[in-house]
Each structure stands twice: as structure tokens, then as C-alpha cells.
Structure 1
Amino acid sequence: MSTEFRWGILGTGWIAEMFVTDLRATGIEVTAVGSRSQQSADAFGSRFDIASRHASYEALVADPEVDAVYVATPHPMHAANALLAIAAGKHVLVEKPFTLNAAEAAEVAEAARRAGVVVIEAMWTRFLPSMVRIRDIIAAGTLGEVRTLIADHDQLLPSDPEHRINNPALGGGALLDLGVYPVSFAVDLFGAPVAVTAKGDKTATGVDRQVALILEHDGGATSVLHTALDTQGANTATIVGTEGRIEIDSVWYEQTSFTVYAGKGSEVVERYDETVVSRGMQFQAWELERVVAEGRGESELLPLDESVAVMAVLDEARRQVGVVYPGE
């Protein structure tokens, strides 16, 4: 992509660090960072050699040397921060989950369309070469009619009640932080579900500890998903069709390897083992730059309506498990 495209980073937490590390490793230009304090902005800017360091998000989005803003704040702030950048006429990459709930997601999507700027959810898995290849295999008919997705995202995360993963005020819980990955994968493969069944339980702080989901899709396809924040799972995925299957190795939502089996004898017809530079978060940045350069309103790999649909699934799953965030 053009080296003239300039990124601003809104937020200075660990996810911002990983994103900028990947951008720096692949030659993408980062010109500014914004935080709620000058000290934090200066520390982040010094670490990553970013010239412009702003003590407020408002100053960051007003920076004329910024073409696109990456929103890297906690979940409950995503909508407000994205709307701030949209109002300033910036293109926006919003860290997943897109927002706290579907109502906020729809508001951001509508604002982006009215403003004529490109807004994409930073569901980085969608844009990895491994996922691009998987979609190509499915489109070629190698698996026949795809019927089932089985995927988990289970991690052993800190038990500190003040940690963001356990804090309702920060949108904590397994679903929004981890479950969003398999849910987004299911929507990518089959479209928004027509029915959602969720069973789970909660932590002492009131967020979802683990959730099992069954999503029913048009045409009879089914997604069987699991997420948990206090157990380390295999984190693999399998896509099953009438004529074959793809088994994605751990960790399936990263750039990883997979095996394609086809025919009655389940013969191996492809083994994919490609690697990428760094972690792979640069591909979502390149996608936004491509969409802007081509004059498209949205990414066809992750349209705004799909981000809204994913949030609607998470909303319904939370409703069934009984998780409500402050202010909802």
C-alpha cells in the first residue's frame, strides 16, 4: 500500500503495542498517538518512535497528519471513540469487539456511512492469509456443501477481579473478549444465524466465565462454539462439508497451519503451512488502506452489517446467560 497513508493510535494499552509492532515491522507509517495523559502518550511515542504525541483523543483525531485512527481502548469506549474519529473525518479501525452491544454497533455503522469514511472492525483473523486461503478452498467447492463449524477459544486468564477480563465496567467476560472470534468466524462462513442457543455460567464479579453456543443458520448449517476465560483449551477449529473438511491447527484464529481432507477416504488434498511477518495484525491495516484507495465504502471481507450481526449474537448469548453491563 501507499507509504503516504498515515495512522494514528487512540489508546496506549497492550493491544495498541502489538498493533504498532506489526505495523512497524511491515513498513506502515504511524505518525501520531493519543492518550488521556501526556505522560502516557510520550512514553508510547518514545517506545515506537512516533513523532506526534497527544494528551487527548480529541487532539489525536484533529491531527491533520493522521488519515486513519486505530481505536485500541477497552470495549465500553469503542463506540464513543469511533464516533469521535468519524466526526473528525477520519477512517477508523476499531478493535474487536466492535462495540459493547449491537445498538452501539449500528450507531457507529450509520455514522460512518453518513460521513463517507471507511470503518472496519479490527477482527484481524478475517484478513490473515490462512483465512483467505480457507475461503478460497470453500468457494472452489472442495468441501462440497459446508454444514458445520466447530471452534473454541478458551484461555486461562488472570483471576484478579479488577482485571479487565473480570470487570463488568470494562465489558469483561469470555464472550466479548474471546467468544467474538468463533462467532465472527461462524458469521463469515454462514451469515448471521437465525437462532442462538447459549448455556454458561458467571464469575463472582458477574461476567460470563464460560459459554457454549449453538448457532443455527439458513440452509441448515450449524456452528458449535465454546469460550472460557479460566481454562486453557485446544483452540482449534474444524469446518465440515458434504465432501470434505478442514482441520485448523492451534491457534486457529492466528496465522496457522491447516489440513484439507476430501473424498470418502478422507484423503489429504492440501497441507497449508505459510507463515507471515510478525503476528499478522498488519493485514487489517492494509485492508483499510486498500478499501480507501479503491474508493469503496466498506470492506467486503468484513462489512459493517456483519460486525453489527456479530454483536447481536453476543447480545443474545449474554441475555441467555444473564450478563448485563453497567448502563445497559
Structure 2
Amino acid sequence: VLGRPEIGTVFIASRHDLHARIVLAALSAGKNVFVEKPLVMRPEELLDVERLYAGMSEDRRPLLMVGFNRRFAPSIREIRTFFASVDAPLAVDMRIHAGYLPPSHWSRDPQQGGGRIVGEMCHFIDIIQYVCGAEPARVFAEHIGSATTSADDDSVVCTLKLNNGSVATVSYLANGDVNVPKEYLQVFGGGRTAVLDNYRRLTTYRQEQRFERAWSTVDKGHHAEVRSFMEAVRMGSSSPITFAESVAATRATFAVEESLKRGGPISL
């Protein structure tokens, strides 16, 4: 596929351990790349991608976009617009009820999937940096557990400080009831508040007024994401998600894992 000149764009949706090598090969072959998250599975692979991309001339550099679809969800875009005029740091609280996966599941395999933090938490870090308009600067994370019980490696709470002063918490949980909707987001700042309940209902508050918007289905932005990428390919424009944003979200995800190992905050 990569050797065929009539193919200019590739989509990578393999298991996570193959992402980095296919991304590197496709970019080296001059192909535009859409890669499902995560961009890579290990920090050293991220460095390889950064080096390759930085070494390409800007006028001949292919597109590279990571599948952070949630920033394309209509509800998330409305939240970003709602806070766009706020000239102050934001406070963000995001709860993800991811549900239980057995340790035998491929995504939790350290060799194939890299674990659920690498495989999925990157989504929510990207939402935070998109809504706040800033990149993570410091990360601190804790497993659920105690001195007498083993840590739960797919139930994690982390705090992120962004480089514009915003602060966010991400509670990624797999220890709750299966009937709880998966995602819940609250954003505060500049005298405004937005509350999003699983992409179905958005409630915003400002100047002592309350507004509601509802959607009949859960739209997490998948269709809009692909449309935006293909439009950029056709028009020869830049990636809808910048390379810097993709790298920042990926690096912060690795920092979550590093913080869990060290038991302290990690500066980026």
C-alpha cells in the first residue's frame, strides 16, 4: 500500500502496538496519515515521530491527524465557543465511567494495547486542552487503592495544570455500576458554567440565566472528525488537529503513567 503512488492517504486502525511503526513508514512514504488514538504506545516512539516530522520541510510535510474525535462533537464545540470570550483560566472536572474490562482484554495487555490510560485517557486530556485552549504543563495522578489493597490499574484520578493557569481533573473509573452513563463534564470560568451529560444534554449558565440544549443521540464527533480530515486532504490545508496538540496530549498521557509510578507530580 505505501509503495503505490496512487494512494495518498492512509487510515491506521490497528492494535496500538503497531501504530508507531505504521505512522513512521507512512509519513516516510509521503502519505497523509489518520491514526486512531493513541498516536504511539511508548515515549520513545513519540520521540521518533517528533524527529521525523520536524525533519520534513513544511511545504512537503504530509498531514498527520490523531483520532481525537470528541473535540469534534457538537456539544464539545458549543462548550468551547461558550467560553471563547472568557479571558481567565478555567476549572474543568471530567468523569469517565469506562466500565470493567478483564485483564485478558487486548487493550490492557502491556505489549499490544499499552493499558487503558494510554489507550483512552488521551481522549479526555485532548478535550481539556481543546476547551481550555492550552496545553498541559503539570500532571499528578493516583490509582484507586490503599495500603492494604492492590492498586486498581484502570481506575485513576488525575489533576492537570495547563500552561494558561487552567486546572482540570479527570476521573477515569471502572469500578462503578454498569448503568451509569459514561461521560460527564463540568467547566467553570469567567462567571460561566457548562455541564455536559454524556453528549446528550448540555446545560449552560451565565448572568443568572440557564440554557439547555439536548441531542436525540450520542454524537462523539466521529463523522465530523473524518469529514474535517478529508476536507483538509482535498484542500491541501493544515490538519484540523495540530501536530503540537497531538504531541501534547500524548506526552501528558505518558506523564499520567509516570506520576503513578513515582507517586508525585510530573512537569512537562
Which interval holds the TM-score relative to the shorter structure? 0.7 to 0.9
Q: Is the 8 A contact 2:17 2:114 kept in 1?
A: no
Alignment partner of 2:127: what SS? Answer: helix
1:137 & 1:293 partners in 2: Cα distance?
Answer: 30
Larger strand proportion, structure 1 or 2?
A: 2
Cα deviation digits, residues 127-152 of structure 1 (max 9, x gap): 222222222222144xx634201002
Aligned to 2:266: none
Residue of structure 1 equivalent to 2:110: 168
Higher relative contact order (CA 8 A, sep 6+): 2
Q: 1:158 aligns with which of 97, 101, 119?
A: 101
Residues 283, 219 of structure 1: alpha-carbon distance in 2 compared, 3 angstrom cutoff: closer
Gaps of 5+ in 1: 1-59, 324-328
Change (3 A) 1:219 1:92: closer
Task: Give the 3-state SS of the residue equivalent to 2:154 in structure 1.
Answer: strand
Contact 1:150–1:237 (CA under 8 A) maintained in structure 2: yes
Find the aligned partners of 1:122 and 1:178 in 2 and give their Cα distance: 11
1:86 is aligned to 2:27: yes
The Cα of 1:258 is off from its aligned counterpart by 0.7
- Whether 1:296 and 2:237 are equivalent positions in the alignment is yes
CA distances 1:176-209 after superposition (whole Å, capped 9, x unpaired): 233222211122233222221111159x999932
> In structure 2, which of residues 80, 83, 100 is the aligned counterpart of residue 138 of structure 1?
83
Q: Tell me the equivalent position of 1:47.
A: none
| Correspondent of 1:281 among 208, 212, 222 | 222
Is contact 1:174–1:210 with CA below 8 Å preserved after alignment?
A: no
Q: Are residues 246 and 193 of structure 1, via their aligned partners in 2, closer, same or farther at CA, if it must alter by over 3 Å?
A: same
Distance change in 2, residues 1:273/1:218 (3 Å): same
Per-residue deviation, 1:154: 2.3
Residue 206 of structure 2 corresponds to residue 246 of structure 1: no
Matched residue type, 2:96: H
- Please state how far the C-alpha of 1:70 moved relative to its aligned partner: 1.1
Is residue 70–residue 220 contact of structure 2 (8 Å, CA) maintained in 1? no
TM-score (norm 1): 0.68
2:71–2:221 Cα contact (<8 Å) kept: no
Cα deviation for residue 65 of structure 1 reads 4.5
Identify unmatched segments of 5+ residues in structure 2.
Answer: 263-268
Change (3 A) 1:170 1:200: same
TM-score normalized with structure 2 length: 0.81
**SS class of match (1:200):** strand
Write the letter of the residue equivalent to 2:190: T
Identity %: 20
In the aligned structure 2, how far is the partner of 1:271 from the partner of 1:278?
17
Once the two structures are TM-superposed, the CA of residue 112 in structure 1 deviates from its matched residue by: 4.1
- Alignment equivalent of 1:197, drawn from 126, 130, 140: 140
Aligned length: 251
1:162 Cα deviation after fit: 2.4
* Residue number in structure 1 paired with 2:122: 180
Alpha-carbon distance between aligned partners in 1 of 2:218 and 2:33, rounded to the nearest angstrom: 23
In the TM superposition, 1:263-274 aligns within 5 A as 263=207, 265=208, 267-268=209-210, 270-274=211-215
- How large is the RMSD of aligned CA atoms in angstroms? 2.9
Give 1:67's match in structure 2, choosing from 8, 17, 20: 8
Segment of structure 1 superposing worse, 236-245 or 212-221: 212-221
